[in-house]
Amino acid sequence: MNSDFLPIPPDLMKNPELAILAVLRKTLDITYYALMAEYPDMYDDTSLFEQPSPRISVFVARRILNLTSDLQSTIDRYRHRLEQEQKQNADSDDILF
């Protein structure tokens, strides 16, 4: 699934929730970049635990990124499922003679 998906008016007419989901998806991307910029070594456990007192904020940032990843995946699955359902509905609307 393309994470750069931006809904267009026909998409929004069918599923208006795609607008806020696209904004949320971009916000999650920016959250990832901001936290990685602030804590570039957050996943390097060796250097992290060699510090005299690791900052708790590093561990919280890691948790946020894990949750962010889960939410991004869930949004992508939701969009994919909508696409499948719309395709099924379009196929079932065909008139059989």
What is the C-alpha to C-alpha distance for residues 94 and 85, in angstroms, rounded to an integer? 15
Residue 96 pLDDT > 60, yes or no?
A: no
How distant is the alpha carbon of residue 77 from its chain centre? 10
pLDDT at 1 over 50: no
pLDDT given for residue 2 in this prediction? 47
Whole-angstrom distance, CA of residue 56 vs CA of residue 13: 45
Q: pTM to 2 decimals?
A: 0.75
33: its two tokens: 């970049």
Confidence class for position 29, pLDDT limits 50, 70, 90: very high
Give the SS3 label for residue 53.
Answer: coil
